[in-house]
Structure 1
Amino acid sequence: MLINPPSICILDDDASVLRSIVHLLESGGFAASSFQHVAEFLAHVHEHEIKLAILDVFLGEENGLVVQTQLRRIAPDTQVIVMTGREQPGMQATAMENGAKAFLLKPFEDEMFLEQVREALSDIG
């Protein structure tokens, strides 16, 4: 376990996906908080410094790419990884243009995911 692991927040409306990702991150030595609702996630970001946000695109009635834009205004130094199980044309380009460090299609390989997390965190200056 890292002595002071960077704060990572995951936003996904699927509780089972959240549990799996939190478990994977913790097994990799990272501290992670999970959120199913955009309002709770944004409230947390307002109150705490986070290093990395992992955002699902399809969040019920809400859109993770919109959340990404809101996050940029609130915490511009936070690194972002965007993930989705249903890619649509232009989605990856939009995420990357808005500063995402990676765009991942679910399901993804555990080690590849952890490598993307490590890379995003290594970009923190």
Structure 2
Amino acid sequence: MNTRHKPLIYIVDDDDGMRRALTALMISVGFQPIPFGKASEFLARHDANSPSCVILDVRMPEMSGLQVQQHLNRNGSMSPVILISGHGDIPMAVQAMKDGAFDFLQKPFRDQDLLDRINEALRLDARNRESIDRLADLRQRSESLTPREREVMTFVVDGKANKVIAIDLGLSERTVEIHRANVMEKMDARSVAHLVKMNLILGGEAR
């Protein structure tokens, strides 16, 4: 998780009383809430790069919570969404989950139930961001390889011996050893097994 930012709890609800109550609850347990009475204000301020969780009221006059969630999805937001509603029904909850909502809570709900779900959502957000950071780092390492080193890496992850690689590429075995060492160093691979795992994570992008 990006440690430069404390996780943000976005609260989007046109009900002033509910918004104030949720904001006070978040502050009381050490969260950093950012409340909004309008969906458009939230969408203008939402920082997709910061660890966060979004609490969305379903029924709002400008945009519904479901529409806001769909907007976030279209823009590639990773922030887990918890939808809340005093008027929600089963089809609405099902649609919310289909659209990727983390959870759906019916008002009135217990404060602790919401806090538990927020904590779970933030853990999911942290795992997702760590995975993306790892993938970005692997891609950067892979892009540092020369075309020849990429070829050698392809053979190495396929389990080919240096002698076989040398024959297939028309190189000396010593040259293959040098390229192989460069690959291991640039990819920061501890072993061939580690290199194979990284290549799998990249989805064969190094090929």
User: Is TM > 0.5 for Structure 1 vs Structure 2?
Assistant: yes
Aligned partner of 1:80: which letter?
V
The residue aligned with 1:88 is: 89
1:71-123 superposed Cα distances (whole Å, 9 cap, x missing partner): 11224211110010001341001111111111001111011110011011111
Aligned to 1:33, what secondary structure does the other structure show?
Answer: strand
Point out the structure with max Rg over C-alpha.
Answer: 2
The residue aligned with 1:120 is: 121
Residue 25 in structure 1 maps to residue 22 in structure 2: no
Q: Distance in 2 between matches of 1:89 and 1:47?
A: 29
Q: Distance in 1 between matches of 2:88 and 2:53?
A: 22
Gap runs ≥5 in structure 1: none
1:35-79 superposed Cα distances (whole Å, 9 cap, x missing partner): 011110110016873511110000024211011000112242111
Aligned to 1:59, what secondary structure does the other structure show?
Answer: coil
For this pair of structures, how many residues does the alignment match?
Answer: 123
Q: Which has the higher contact order (CA 8 A, sep 6+)?
A: 1
Aligned to 1:58, what secondary structure does the other structure show?
Answer: coil
The residue aligned with 2:46 is: 45
Q: Distance in 1 between matches of 2:116 and 2:48?
A: 28
Provide runs of 4+ in structure 1 moved above 4 Å.
Answer: none
Q: Distance in 2 between matches of 1:116 and 1:87?
A: 18
Aligned partner of 1:18: which letter?
R
Aligned partner of 1:16: which letter?
G
Q: Distance in 1 between matches of 2:82 and 2:51?
A: 13
Aligned partner of 2:54: which letter?
A
Aligned to 2:120, what secondary structure does the other structure show?
Answer: helix
TM (norm. structure 2) is 0.55
Q: Do the aligned partners of residues 32 and 48 (structure 1) sit closer, same or farther apart at CA in structure 2, a change above 3 Å counting?
A: farther
Taking only aligned residues, the RMSD between alpha carbons, in angstroms, comes to: 1.9
